Structure 1
């Protein structure tokens, strides 16, 4: 199963009764493990969870922290990039060259890196570490 297949499989489980916009995400870590997540909405907008955030939470719950590849899929006219908050979350756990594949259910894809998605990312180097 490819990373995109894993994202497609979990996309079906998204809980999106309000937007009807189901998103699936899968991440591969340096260890080779794959973690998946789907968006989970809540009637009290914006209290839902993005698919990427769900996959990252599953990764951290397993004690894994180094993302090397990401796949995101949704039923959309074009590939859907992670939202701004999820771009920052991905940058927390991935190097800039980590590949992000964005796809539609019809098979269109767009591949970028984390650095291309979030140029000038805020990072730990900006914090006073002294």
Structure 2
């Protein structure tokens, strides 16, 4: 599958599909709130991630950051889009920490695709979700 040959809508739907599939591996025994993410790099590769909870809640990591860390550990630091999925009927959005992590690698153009369990989704540019980003 050449994701770069797909239309923007096809890419969004594919990323949601991949994030929903990844969600099945969520480790969320405390909250029971499963989250999956799929991030698309500029070179067309997709990395997935899930939330991984811990009894010491501060050690918990979000699905979005798991996907980013997997990509960065493989040398991919330029992102086009990320999709998020959960079992919730309401739309799921990245937390503030995840938005800040995205901004480390993108200056606002990355698309953030937020979905719900009904298959609906909304897309935003990172700059819309995190204006006036903190940077050094």
- How far did residue 77 of structure 1 move? 2.5
**Alignment-derived partner of residue 23 in structure 1:** 35
Segments of 5+ residues of structure 2 without an aligned counterpart are 2-13
Segments of 5+ residues of structure 1 without an aligned counterpart are none
**Conserved 8 A contact 1:68-1:95:** no
**Conserved 8 A contact 1:71-1:100:** yes
Residue 110 of structure 2 aligns to a residue in which SS?
strand
Whole-Å separation in 1 of the counterparts to 2:53 and 2:42: 30
Q: Which has the higher helix share?
A: 2
**Alignment-derived partner of residue 111 in structure 2:** 99
> Runs in 1 of length 4+ with deviation above 3 angstroms?
none
RMSD of the alignment, in Å? 1.1
- How far did residue 41 of structure 1 move? 0.2
TM-score normalised by L of structure 1 = 0.91
Q: Map Cα deviations across residues 30-69 of structure 1 (whole Å, 9 max, x no partner).
A: 1110011000000111211100010011001111100111
TM-score normalised by L of structure 2 = 0.87
Q: Map of 1:74-89 to 2, 5 A cutoff?
A: 74-89=86-101
**Conserved 8 A contact 2:89-2:117:** no
Give aligned pairs, total. 124
Whole-Å separation in 2 of the counterparts to 1:118 and 1:93: 13
